[in-house]
Amino acid sequence: MQKFLIRSLFLALLLSAAESWANETIATCGSPEGYAYYHHFGIWPKKESGFQEDSISKGITTLVKLRDNEYDLMFVDARGTIISNKRDGANIVHLRSGEADATFLVAHPGLSIELYTFYRDNDGDARFDLLGSKGGAMPFHKSSVMTGECSDLDLTLIR
């Protein structure tokens, strides 16, 4: 957990320097795990299709509020590169907020749709859920649900 917190803090600092157009970091979360259903389609062989455990073991996701009152969801990919969904062409929509949660849609037309919910549970722990559907022009198709911990979550920045 300490490594996660150090990586999260480092990423938040790096993102704020590299993405100077970002006003405020709302959430820094990582290492989601859960399940995915891999479709028998494209490059995915039939014997490996179906439900499997899934995770993004070294993944870090950061939600930022931009100056123009828009949002971006950035992540570190498998190569360690910081990717901005907004700069990568995704549509990012704030769908809903409650007292202890907020949900965002990230849509890459023709490729993927993801729902991110950031929340505090009854114990006050910061978490996030990721529901994804990848397909279209992608070489493989999958649907997934994962959850992970957040080291930083300030939902007041959304209100």
Query: 19 lies in which domain range?
Result: 2-157
Tens of pLDDT, residue by residue over 88-111, are: 999 999 999 999 999 999 999 999
Helix (H) or strand (E) holding 13: helix 2-18
The values of phi and psi at residue 105, to 5°, are: -100, 130
Please tell me the total count of domains within the chain.
1
152 CB-contact burial (10 Å; exposed 0-12 / middle 13-18 / buried 19+): middle
* Distance of alpha carbon 44 from alpha carbon 39, whole angstroms: 7
pTM: 0.83
Q: What is the pLDDT of residue 58?
A: 83
Confidence of residue 59 (pLDDT cuts 50, 70, 90): confident
Residue 126 has pLDDT above 90, yes or no: yes
